[in-house]
Amino acid sequence: MSPTAKKTTAKRTATADNARAFRLTVLRATGETYGLTLEETYGDNGRTMATGVITTTAGQTTRVVDTVVAAVRSAGHQPSVLAFNNATPIPLDEPSGVRLALILITTQPVTKHDRVRALVAGINAMSVEESYYWYAKCLGPDASNARKALRILIVGDAHRGVRG
């Protein structure tokens, strides 16, 4: 193997070891309902660090269940992995995890279903780069203002249909 090929292979290995991804954990609630925990993960090969992004209740999850199923499918899993008795974290690729995180974060305080649908549609219409930008803003030091700004950008008035 040439020295150039060895360096390229080493870079790919280092990138894979430090890859950012997400994992989704199903949290059993009452009956056949479930909440979710979404975590951002770094690394592979058994050396994974995780940071919690958001935890949703069963009610919040029910409002965006179609989006959750779409994220799971885009990561190559069957929707059946979302069974409420599944305790194994579900790995998601980075773009799917970023988009799902944005949807869960922005819809969490919203109570009106039409506004939830508008937020989901607006985030799904974003380019990958735009979703990464808003993800960074919504988890950064000024997250509260960024989340409000994103909701206003997509659906308008910041106070209609939003809990405290």
Instruction: Give per-residue pLDDT as tens, 1-26.
Output: 544 444 433 333 333 444 778 998 88
Mean pLDDT of 111-130: 93
For residues 121 and 43, give the distance between their C-alpha atoms in angstroms, rounded to a whole number: 31
- The closest alpha carbon to 106, from 121, 88, 85, belongs to 121
* pLDDT of res. 67: 92
pLDDT bucket at 128, cuts 50 / 70 / 90: very high
For residues 161 and 20, give the distance between their C-alpha atoms in angstroms, rounded to a whole number: 34
Q: Which of 7-16, 49-58, 150-159 has the lowest mean pLDDT?
A: 7-16
* pLDDT of res. 101: 94
State pTM to two decimals: 0.79
- The closest alpha carbon to 66, from 79, 53, 83, 84, belongs to 79
